[in-house]
């Protein structure tokens, strides 16, 4: 292992820059040359790489987003596109590549490894949805969850003042981790997540019961699911059952940006070091993660083929505390 590359792919997540910084410093400490591949798989296909040294990563640990930029590239999901990427890796003379991203990133890496005998590939989980199998937490989740909780706190002031029902929509296309943890921390009354079917009649009845026992306001945290903006439909359907004044707040991409929290800076640093050390140890086709406080390596195919379950105890706690 003499020369490695690093890229960020898919949705950006706060803490990615901390991970890049840690990977670069670890590579340099082990006398490796490291280059940054710009714009994810788009840059990999085009061989768009820039040298990374201590100057390039100076004062980036506190920045959100990713200094390497990112993309979602449909061409990479064709065999022709992946062979172009493999040829670029050969031209760049890379012995290993660190890939920071989520399920889509690791799915693409698995297919790349199957199509071509290329450099060693090690993944790092970066996703505010926190839906990647093989790690308790992904880089970016803690920052996004804190953003959602701050929004819930602010909305609660208005909800209480106007005795109103609010639907707050957070990200989470196929997973409810963000909704669940921000709902607990924000003291939400109800939760709508992709993992569970929800009856609008039953949801409405539970909200009605809360107002009946003396509540003056209520907050429902909704994961966006497959259709961002779904909260408007839910609010409309609940309104058909209840004669309550309600409002909808969609947080959207607001949750992606901003300075990473302490937890995301530490996690990004921890996994950036672990990824480079995994390459040095000869590992490939795996993702470094943290499970139960311990560093782990999970096969890349497992990260997107296996479904990461919600924490049943946290779900139980939400139900208990919201009654």
Put residue 130 in one of left, alpha, beta given phi > 0 → left and psi -120 to 50 → alpha.
left
State how far the Cα of 114 lies from the Cα of 129, in Å rounded to an integer. 27
Do the beta carbons of residue 74 and residue 12 sit within 8 Å?
no
Decide: helix, strand or coil at residue 185.
helix
Show Cβ contacts of residue 93 under 8 Å, excluding neighbours closer than 6 positions: 3
Pair of tokens at residue 181: 């943890």
**Interaxial angle between packed helices 177-186 and 141-162, expressed in degrees from 0 to 180 and rounded to the nearest 10:** 50
| Distance in angstroms between the alpha carbons of the first and the last residue of the chain | 56
State how far the Cα of 306 lies from the Cα of 12, in Å rounded to an integer. 22
The catalytic residues are 129
Name which of 170, 238, 169 is nearest 198 in CA terms: 238
State how far the Cα of 146 lies from the Cα of 8, in Å rounded to an integer. 23
């Amino acid at each position: 292992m003499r020369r490695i590359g690093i890229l960020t792919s898919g949705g950006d997540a706060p803490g990615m820059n901390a991970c890049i910084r840690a990977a670069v410093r670890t590579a340099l400490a082990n006398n490796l040359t490291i280059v940054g591949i710009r714009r994810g798989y788009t840059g990999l296909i085009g061989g768009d790489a820039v040298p990374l040294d201590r100057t390039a990563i100076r004062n980036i640990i506190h920045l959100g987003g990713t200094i390497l930029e990112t993309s979602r590239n449909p061409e990479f999901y064709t065999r022709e596109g992946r062979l172009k990427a493999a040829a670029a890796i050969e031209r760049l003379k890379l012995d290993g590549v660190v890939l920071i991203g989520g399920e889509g990133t690791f799915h693409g890496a698995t297919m790349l490894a199957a199509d071509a005998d290329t450099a060693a590939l090690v993944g790092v989980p970066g996703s505010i949805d926190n839906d990647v199998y093989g790690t308790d937490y992904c880089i970016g989740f803690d920052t996004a969850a804190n953003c959602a909780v701050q929004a819930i706190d602010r909305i609660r002031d208005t909800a209480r003042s106007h005795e109103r029902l609010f639907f707050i929509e957070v990200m989470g296309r196929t997973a409810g981790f963000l909704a669940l943890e921000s709902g607990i921390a924000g003291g939400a009354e109800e939760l709508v997540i992709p993992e569970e079917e929800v009856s609008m009649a039953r949801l409405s009845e539970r909200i009605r019961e809360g107002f009946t026992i003396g509540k003056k306001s209520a907050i429902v945290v909704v994961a966006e699911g497959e259709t961002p903006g779904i909260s408007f439909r839910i609010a409309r359907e609940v309104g058909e059952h209840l004669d309550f004044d309600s409002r909808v707040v969609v947080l959207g991409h607001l949750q992606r940006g901003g300075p990473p929290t302490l937890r995301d800076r530490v996690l990004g640093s921890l996994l950036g070091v672990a990824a480079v050390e995994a390459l040095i140890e000869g590992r490939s086709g795996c993702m470094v993660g943290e499970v139960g406080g311990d560093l782990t390596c999970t096969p890349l195919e497992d990260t997107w083929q296996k479904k990461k379950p919600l924490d049943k105890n946290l779900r139980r706690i939400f139900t208990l505390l919201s009654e």
